[in-house]
Amino acid sequence: MTDAYRDFPPPIGVRTVRPSTFAQYRTLLARDLRQEFRTREMLSSMGIYAVLVLVIFGASFAQVAHEMDLLKISGGLIWALIVFTSLLGLNRSFSREREEGALEGVLLVPLDRSIIFLAKATANLLFLLTVELITLPLFFFLFLSGSEFPTTFWMILGPLGAGSVGIAGVGTLLATMTANTRGKDVLLAVLFIPLAWPLLYACVVATTAALLGPEAVEVSYLGPVVLALGYDVILIAVSWLLYDFVVSA
């Protein structure tokens, strides 16, 4: 139902019950998850791409791995892997809907456009976390299997969670903006990487500190994690407010 029809009252004797905000969110999220698990296009593409990035990392460090401590640069490698993989997934998250006209159909429904953003961002976050759950153990096995991990190793979950939430939120807004543009793959990367730079910097520093041990955590962990969380709150709130304008443009 478009905005023009919202002013018309329902027929006499017919009661209209508008679903709650949570019900709308749950329906949209279930639609995205059901569509992806039926085709597995995004997950398979992101997984294959992540493995290829690992192969490139392996070829790049094959000759010098025995001369350097990969643990010191593993934070940067992990986030390079996550960013490149997430860009592929974000590009594909709207391609099918634009091609099949599904997004236009959703926009005809009288619901808050920010609910579309929240459902799509949640779906992108779940897909990204799924790929991380598969590829990060593979990364540690291939590159850091001979390293001794400190007791602070589990603390990488903090920057991983904060960074993934920020990537999914900001990336969903930018993917919506670039979905109908020519060269959307390049344009999304050009817009996303500068905007997400503070988040990526904070997550790399915090992840590296967690992998290096307690001394590094005391110096370089809490501040970057707080910065990443603050970035998530501010940028996701801005994306929430702007999404109605962006998706309707």
Domain that holds residue 80: 19-248
Residue 88 is assigned to a structural domain of this protein: yes
Residue 14 is assigned to a structural domain of this protein: no
Residue 161 is assigned to a structural domain of this protein: yes
Residue 142 is assigned to a structural domain of this protein: yes
- Nearest of 177, 165, 163, 164 to residue 93 by alpha carbon: 177
User: For residue 236, what is the enclosing H or E element?
Assistant: helix 222-248
In whole angstroms, give the CA distance from residue 193 to residue 174: 11
- Counting the structural domains of the chain, the total is 1
Place of tokens 């990526």: 200
Instruction: Report pLDDT for 182.
Output: 78
- Model confidence pTM above 0.85: yes
Residue 8 is assigned to a structural domain of this protein: no
Instruction: Report pLDDT for 81.
Output: 94
In whole angstroms, give the CA distance from residue 25 to residue 19: 10
Residue 242 is assigned to a structural domain of this protein: yes
* Rounded alpha-carbon distances, angstroms, from residue 119 to 6, 19, 32, 50, 104: 23, 15, 8, 24, 16
Residue 163 is assigned to a structural domain of this protein: yes
* Rounded alpha-carbon distances, angstroms, from residue 54 to 7, 85, 135: 55, 11, 9
In whole angstroms, give the CA distance from residue 192 to residue 249: 19
DSSP 196-225: HHHHHHHHHHHHHHHHH-HHHHHHHTHHHH
Residue 85 is assigned to a structural domain of this protein: yes
In whole angstroms, give the CA distance from residue 137 to residue 55: 14
Per-residue pLDDT of the chain (249 residues; tens, 9 = 90+): 444 434 445 555 545 566 777 888 898 899 889 888 888 888 898 999 999 999 998 888 877 766 677 888 899 999 999 999 999 888 887 766 666 656 665 666 666 778 889 999 999 999 999 999 999 999 999 888 877 888 999 999 999 999 999 999 999 999 988 877 777 778 999 999 999 999 999 999 999 999 999 999 999 999 999 999 999 999 999 999 998 888 776
